């Protein structure tokens, strides 16, 4: 059941709603491609106001490991653990996506 529209003390909208969330697919295909190591790499490089979580299938199997940064709606494909520091530094800390890693299906201009 949804809490949308219900009145409760916990329904207040936090000003941190816009904080970034990194979703790292941990479903079967991405896991075979090394997604658990990618998630571990993000976990070792925490950034203030950024939450990193494993996710179920992001619907782009075969292009993984897939990483989705919200609310930016920036998709990275084929992410390798050694590329994570660049995403953390340039995108999560610096606010600029890593163009060479963008998922071509959703990011047509590079």
Contact between 69 and ligand FES (CB under 6 A)?
no
In the window 21-50, what residues touch ligand FES (CB under 6 A)?
25, 27-30
> DSSP assignment of the chain, as one string?
---TT---GGGPPPGGGGSEEEEEE-SHHHHHTTHHHHHHHHHTS--TTEEEEEES--S-TTS-S-EEEETTTEEE-S--GGGHHHIIIIIIITS---GGGB-TTT----
Contact between 58 and ligand FES (CB under 6 A)?
yes
Report, in Å, the least distance between residue 1 CB and ligand FES: 28
Contact between 66 and ligand FES (CB under 6 A)?
yes
- Which position among 47, 50, 57, 98 is part of the footprint of ligand FES (CB under 6 A)? 57
Residues that bind ligand FES (CB under 6 A): 25, 27-30, 57-61, 64, 66
């Amino acid at each position: 059941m949804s809490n949308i529209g219900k009145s409760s003390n916990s329904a207040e909208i936090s000003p941190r709603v816009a904080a970034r969330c990194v979703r790292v697919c941990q479903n079967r295909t991405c896991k075979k491609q090394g997604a658990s190591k990618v998630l571990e790499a993000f976990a070792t490089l925490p950034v203030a106001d950024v939450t990193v979580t494993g996710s179920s299938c992001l619907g782009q199997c075969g292009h993984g490991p897939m990483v989705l940064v919200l609310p930016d709606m920036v998709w990275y494909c084929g992410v390798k653990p050694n590329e994570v520091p660049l995403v953390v530094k340039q995108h999560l800390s610096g606010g600029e996506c890593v163009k060479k890693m963008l998922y071509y299906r959703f990011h047509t201009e590079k």
